[in-house]
Amino acid sequence: MSSTPLASIKGLSKRFGGIAAVSDVSFDLVAGEVTALIGPNGAGKTTLINLVTGVLACDGGTISLEGEDITARPTHQRGTAGIARTYQTPQIAHGMSVLTNVMAGAYRFGQHGLLSSVFRPWVVMKENDEMAARAAQCLTRAGVAEQWWQRLATDLPYGLQRRVEIARSLAQDPKLLLLDEPAAGLNPSETADLSRLLSEIAADGRAVLLVEHDMGMVMSISSHIVVVNFGRKLAEGTPKDIASNKDVIAAYLGADEAVA
């Protein structure tokens, strides 16, 4: 894969009162690769995702996507530009089916609004059919069997809710996908399946930013790892580099612990 960054984060900073949640953090995200962002609880990982997606405004630094500065863009415009995310806890719309939840991710491709629904309902119906087809394709890709598609999404087991959220993100056809602890609460078999899925998503030519505490998963699927601690970048490099970095071992992996 090309090493040309799809997205670049330069000098990103965010303060909450007197606390520097993120301080001068820089790294690149490359299409076709999984980049892991790791660090202790409270290190600033979720804050970084919120800055990249526009949920929070940064106090300093820049964010670029395909060479274009998107630092000042609101969240919905970043989504349109090709950024999608998942959350630490699956954000599932209550009262909606699995298929409809995933269709919500495809609506950025919609061309018709309220007036069309009133005066040209057949056009809107055709568009909805296209979105449903896109959602079905993404659910299949994410490993959610068709038997679940018409069920209420909130009725699904936790592991499948994780997959529904990933499918909804894929329905946006993102260039950059950010995942906030997607393996949290999963058993080893589910984690292994998720690892394969994320590797396949990256192989499509997307850049994937993975925030995750499961170090086995991180080391097995990441091409590059960024380590943050107290809001600052502590180290970055290949999994092999990070596993042998004494500062990382002391601050995060444990002074007497190493990663095989």
**pLDDT of 25-58, one tens digit each?**
999 999 999 999 999 888 999 999 999 999 999 9
* Cα maximum dimension of the chain: 69
DSSP class of residue 252 equals: I
Q: Amino acid identity, residue 207? A: A
Record the tokens describing residue 123, joined without a space.
């056009």
With CA atoms as reference, report the closest residue to 177 among 159, 158, 200, 154.
Answer: 200
Most confident of 89-98, 215-224, 247-256: 215-224
pLDDT for the residue numbered 124: 54
Measured at the CA of 14, the angle between CA 62 and CA 207, to 5 degrees, comes to 50
More confidently predicted of 128 and 77: 77
Using N-to-C axis directions, what is the helix angle for 158-170 and 188-203, rounded to 10°? 10
Q: How far is CA 45 from the centre of its chain?
A: 12
Residue 200 CA to residue 190 CA, distance in Å, equals 15
**34-38 β-sheet, strand order:** 83-85, 176-180, 207-211, 34-38, 224-229, 232-237
pLDDT in tens, 190-233: 999 999 999 999 999 999 999 999 999 999 999 999 999 999 99
How far is CA 109 from each of CA 21, 97, 105, 115, 121, rounded to the nearest angstrom? Answer: 35, 20, 9, 17, 17
pLDDT for the residue numbered 119: 39
pTM of the shown model: 0.88
pLDDT in tens, 104-162: 888 766 554 433 433 344 455 666 788 889 999 999 999 999 999 999 999 999 999 99
Mean pLDDT of 45-72: 96
More confidently predicted of 166 and 42: 166
CB of 183 within 8 A of CB of 214?
yes
Residues in the chain: 260
Domains and their CATH numbers in the chain = 1-82+174-260 (3.40.50.300), 93-172 (no CATH)
pLDDT for the residue numbered 57: 96
Q: Amino acid identity, residue 111? A: Q
